[in-house]
Amino acid sequence: MTDEVVLCECFARDGLQHEPRFVPTDTKVGLLRQFVETGFTRIEASSYSHPTRVPAFADVRDVLRALPRTPGVRFKNTCPNPKAVQRALADFHDGAGADELSFLVSASESHTEKNLRTTRARQWDNVAEMTRLADGKFVLVGVVSVAFGCPFEGWVDPDVVVADVARFAELGASMVTIGDTTGVATPRTARSLFTRLVTEFPNLDVVAHFHNTRGTAIANAVAALDAGIRFFDSAMGGVGGHPSTIQYGAGLTGNVCTEDLVSVFEAMGVRTGLDLEALARASAACEEALARPLYSMVARAGFDTVSKESTRV
């Protein structure tokens, strides 16, 4: 394995879904442009969630039409159901489609009901129909939520997660994201599950998606790295977690901070391919967009310039 990782910047979707105040379209587009300039090659741009349920993405079409289309950069949108894929196809045929589509399942029945308002069996039927509708026009990204534990049911059997990943692979997904939705993973459980996934699915790009609810996201990411994972999700400032209208879990539910994760990886000699000066500017712009200090430690202290001098900002 090479000492190189790919981070998907999730601020504009997973980050903003948690915000009660609508962020203007122009602000979102400006931030997405900064993410491209920083060097991200995978960026979560928006969601086709129903606008009355998740108002943060009522402007999804306007955002997609304004995105900077740069060779080598893929924009991802989330699709919770077949109607969302039909909207994605309409944008695709208008020349403003996303490059990747995320299809969601939850590893527990209770979280499926709360988050997707259906059952696991019906959601898998939805995913099969969504795959058929997508018709090979997008990179398909499967997402398994609450993979390490459910806030309603507790422990989640890793066999269920592995079976879900296998099902996504059979449907044609080229990437599958494993979500620690409420931050209950530990380095040991993360290393165990990701080692198994890397071993059992050598031709699949497995993505680690950690939340920092209990302050363990960085440690879990390093454990996943040691297990062979080279694709990670993160969000500037550690924001996000779940739509503001859905309440589950406790404490801070946000994603692992992009700034902090990049600092650790670069200090370890793991290349992220990102311009750290541009990253610092994007971090400040995200705080300005939300009009408050966010949760990154590096945003306050600066990048580590001691462990590896090439990280100097």
> Cα-atom radius of gyration of the chain, to the nearest Å?
18
Question: Residue 309: its pLDDT value, please?
Answer: 43
The answer to whether position 267 is within a domain reads yes
The answer to whether position 311 is within a domain reads no
Please count the structural domains in the chain. 1
Task: Indicate if the pLDDT at residue 310 is higher than 50.
Answer: no
Task: Indicate if the pLDDT at residue 246 is higher than 90.
Answer: no
More confident residue, 177 or 244: 177
The answer to whether position 312 is within a domain reads no
Question: Residue 306: its pLDDT value, please?
Answer: 74
More confident residue, 258 or 151: 258
Under a CB-based contact definition with an 8 Å cutoff, are residues 308 and 266 in contact?
yes
The 3-state DSSP class for residue 69 equals: coil
Residue 20's pLDDT band, with cuts at 50, 70 and 90, is confident
Question: Residue 248: its pLDDT value, please?
Answer: 59
Rounded average pLDDT over 7-15: 96
Question: Residue 115: its pLDDT value, please?
Answer: 82
Range of the domain at 114: 6-303
The answer to whether position 135 is within a domain reads yes
Going by C-alpha positions, the residue among 242, 181, 233 that lies closest to residue 18 is: 242
The answer to whether position 309 is within a domain reads no
What CATH code is carried by the domain that includes residue 57? 3.20.20.70
pLDDT tens-place string over residues 109-145:
999 998 888 999 999 999 999 999 999 999 999 999 9
**Average pLDDT value over all residues in the chain:** 93
Question: Residue 53: its pLDDT value, please?
Answer: 85
Rounded average pLDDT over 268-295: 97
The dihedral through the CA atoms of 154, 156, 157, 158 has a sign that is: negative
* Per-residue burial over 117-135, b = 16 or more CB atoms within 10 Å of its CB, e = otherwise: ebebeebbebbeebbebbe
Residue 26's pLDDT band, with cuts at 50, 70 and 90, is very high
The answer to whether position 236 is within a domain reads yes
Place of tokens 């062979």: 228
pLDDT tens-place string over residues 178-187:
999 989 999 9
Q: What is the largest CA-CA distance in the chain?
A: 52
Question: Residue 313: its pLDDT value, please?
Answer: 37
Considering the entire predicted model, what is its pTM?
Answer: 0.94
Q: Where are the alpha helices (DSSP H) in the chain?
A: 25-38, 60-66, 82-93, 109-116, 120-134, 158-171, 187-200, 217-226, 258-267, 276-290, 298-301
DSSP state of 154: B
Rounded average pLDDT over 77-105: 96
